[in-house]
Amino acid sequence: MFYGLPCHYGGMHIGTVTLNPSVEVYAGRDMFGEVKTETRYPDIMISAFNTRTRYDVAFDYDADSTHGGDNKAAKDRRRANAIATVRNLVHFTLVTSDILDFDYLVLMGERARKVLKQRRKPSLNVSRDSVDGRKALREYRERQIELFDSFVRGVRDY
């Protein structure tokens, strides 16, 4: 939600967000030389078009990565490696500590924005270095933090 919402709500507005989309990945060839595929379901996919080319960023949330042991780690690596074969798709895995870190969540959004070939947001009518530009960016950051606090940290003022 944070990555797809419009900037005036505190989101990053970097693309269209889809939850658990199906993604066909290359799984080798069978004994007859035919291509085999498997279906993977990343937790979140963000898509954007730029010059008629679609770019995608997939995020997986792995809450058990530090507690799953070697078998879990191997399975996770294989899943990530399979998704890495999809054209124009970059795959990231986030753990709980990543999700709870506002600055890191923004950094991952900026990385996704670059992969998706999107402009920096919010768009301003003035220079980012001007007094008005800095004020607008500060207000935008405050909206981001408010959104983060409301949904990630669970701080609500009802």
Backbone angles phi, psi at 61, to 5 degrees: -105, 125
The pLDDT assigned to 158 comes to: 41
Contacts of 8 (CB under 8 A, 6+ apart): 122, 143
Rounded to whole angstroms, the Cα distance separating 113 from 92 reads: 13
DSSP letter assigned to residue 34: -
The pLDDT assigned to 107 comes to: 93
User: Edge to edge, what strands does the sheet with 16-19 contain?
Assistant: 16-19, 44-50, 53-61, 89-94
The pLDDT assigned to 33 comes to: 92
User: What are the extents of the domains in the chain?
Assistant: 7-124
Secondary structure of residue 104 in the 3-state scheme: helix
Rounded to whole angstroms, the Cα distance separating 126 from 158 reads: 36
> Which tokens in the block code for residue 40?
């993977």
Rounded to whole angstroms, the Cα distance separating 78 from 58 reads: 15
> Which tokens in the block code for residue 143?
């909206």
> Which tokens in the block code for residue 127?
């220079």
Tens digit of pLDDT per residue, the chain (158 long)? Answer: 789 898 888 888 999 999 999 988 888 898 999 999 888 888 999 999 988 889 999 998 877 655 566 777 777 777 777 777 777 789 898 888 888 899 999 999 999 999 999 888 877 878 888 898 899 889 989 998 988 888 877 654 44
Q: CB neighbours (10 Å) of residue 148?
A: 19
The pLDDT assigned to 1 comes to: 76
Count, residues in the chain: 158
